Chains A and B, each alone.
Chain A
Amino acid sequence: MQILSYIGRRLIFVAPQLVGILLVTFLLLKLIPGDPAVMMLGPFATDEGLARLRTELGLDHSIIKQFGIYLWRVIHWDLGTSWQTTMPVTSDLAQRFPATLELVTLSLLLALSIGMPLGVIGARSKNGIIRKLVEYYGLAAGSLPDFWFGLVLIFIFYTILGVVPAPLGRIDFTIIPPPEVTGSLLIDSVISGNWLALRNALGHLILPVLTLGLINAAPILKMTMSTMDRMLEADFSRYAEMCGLPDRVVARKALRNSLPSVITIVSVLYGFLIGGAVLVEIVFSWGGAGQYAVQGVLNADLNPVLGFVLYSAILSLVIYLIVDLIYFAIDPRTR
């Protein structure tokens, strides 16, 4: 019940924020030079054609009214059309968002499975050489520009060693992708039992996931280590030691108590990577949502950007809700 009221409160705050985000994006993008009508019609546009299209697009209204119209459409889940792809933004995003989500989710899972154990190991071996190594890993990985690191991985594992598929999207051309259910190639392949597609999609995921995973392990590692440090010094850990509990049990307790911080940093990273993975998406021709949005900004294609911002805002909202639910699950004090 507490959860429900909490979620309700949260949602009340979210609606105005969403409108605010949309408004800022809208105004910002309106300021970008470039007339969408001209771009859509291309070189053969006639003046009448342009005028007609501007009317169709509502470009002849005042900005406020345009925004009102936009909001009205958003409420009806009509995010307009991208002039670049000539497709409705909703269907474009329905294709691209799962691609980004799959990449980001797997990368963060990898980052977690690297960062958390290393953080725990680092925290447990205080002042040891292992801790030094772990600290250096955190600093070094945190310093790598992901787009460059991706290139290095491509160069090593594709160009030189040839052990991974070409960095060209999510699945080979020759492979028939599974019918779309969730949009995640992995899940869809499993659902349809298409193991060939599954293997192939996994192959394509290796490098981008490795790129993002290894780099984003750094913040997770740092957060885990510093929180573990605190938790291992906390009263309950001292008490557990006094009770003669084995070190690993003490560490496990400390880890459990560190989880909220770790989950928080993961959720922050998640929100960041939805748009921030765009560089890696470009390097691997991933065709994700970030790429779509950036292309929209660069080409004055308003609707994809607005759609993307809206999607990621909603996604962040969902993530934060999930995080809260996890908090509820692991910390009895919140119940």
Chain B
Amino acid sequence: MSEAANSETMDQTVAEPLLECDGVYVTFPRYGAEEAVALRDVSLTISRGEVLGLVGESGSGKTMLARAIMRLIPQPGAITSGSVTFEGTNLGELDPEALRRMRGRDIAMIISNPRGELDPLQTVGQQIGNVLRYHLDLNSKDVRERALDLLKQVSIPDPQRRLDAYPHELSGGMAQRVVIAIALACSPRFIISDDATSGLDVTVQAQVLELIRKLVSERDTSMMFITRDIGITAHYCDRIAIIYAGEIMEVADRGVFFDDPLHPYTVLLLAAFAQNERLRRYWLGEDKVRENSGPSAVGCAFQNRCVRVQQRCLAEHPVLTEHRPGHFVRCHFPVERP
């Protein structure tokens, strides 16, 4: 959908695009059947300093998108079409070494469940140090200082001691802060936070989110904030994208998005999230939620769960169109509200 991407005009608050995904397809070969499409026609733009929330359920392709940007698609999947451009460079044209140098230095990732993802055999200091050493060519003394400094920045209590701690000795929240420190180590221009807080207690979660937001805004770093929790995006994101079955369903600035969602799936998500019966009714209208069922390969991916499904949805694949300026939606029949 290059048309949609191209036509997306820059928000007035944003100067230039930092990262641009253009019609990205990620497919996995399947056998005896058509290949499985993990990402379909994903076009997104993220500007400098912008925080984009990417919301979708598990398996919707959020993580795949993050990996596509980093160019770390698991075997045997591949980006079969489209491009990812970062600061004007088409990442697909970079050689593996350049890509590697980019990862962690220019584009960093904050992962969820960090205790399982950190190397169990290395201390916190070593793991932060690794990134510093291999990206910034620091010597080991500087590395230690910098690592300590980073731990301080992410407000880890008793950082000196934590530096020599192993992942299993950390609490979930602390491990999360370590991962953030690693992500920040090289002052990247772009950070992907992949469900970063999902495993944490609610109070810790809030602290960590606050920390991320603070650090990101201090450094004028852009961020893609991937989450299953649409509520979080309301607080922390400038713009929100909804992904379903590997497709971007709706993209809009925060205000517009929550006030006036266009896609039935967005409505469904908001309704599911809402505690408020009045709001629920407002978002859901009289529609009833259909039985849960998987995405469809033909026609609209959401057709099986859509309360508003019509004949056209079964046959014709909808494209992402700019319904209003800056508000894109992929639906034949967007939700219109009085």
Contacts and interface: CB of A to CB of B under 8 A. Distances in A.
Q: Do chains A and B touch in the complex (CB under 8 A)?
A: yes
Interface string B108-143: 110101001111111100000011001100000000
A155 interface: no
Contacts of A244: 100-105, 131, 134-135
Given A249-B130, A332-B168, A243 B104 contact: yes
Interface of A is mostly: helix
A65 to B, nearest CB: 54
A330 interface: yes
A242 B118 contact: no
Contacts of A331: 120-121
Contacts of B182: 243
B119 A240 contact: yes
A238 B67 CA distance: 10
A253 B123 CA distance: 12
Interface string A17-47: 0000000000000000000000000000000
Interface residues of A, number: 21
Contact of B72 (A235, A242, A245): A242
A255 to B, nearest CB: 10
B119 A253 contact: yes
Given A243-B130, A249-B134, A333 B166 contact: yes
A236 interface: yes
Interface string A242-257: 1111110100010011
A245 B122 contact: no
Interface of B is mostly: mixed
A239 B117 contact: yes
B130 A238 contact: no
A241 interface: yes
A257 B122 CA distance: 10
Contacts of B72: 238, 241-242
Interface in A259-315: none
Interface string B59-85: 000000000001010010000000000
Contacts of A243: 103-104, 108-109, 130-131, 182
Interface of A: 126, 235-236, 238-247, 249, 253, 256-257, 330-333
Given A235-B117, A332-B168, 20 more contacts: A235-B116, A236-B118, A241-B103, A242-B70, A242-B103, A242-B104, A243-B103, A243-B109, A243-B130, A244-B100, A244-B101, A244-B105, A244-B131, A245-B130, A245-B131, A249-B130, A253-B122, A256-B121, A257-B121, A333-B120
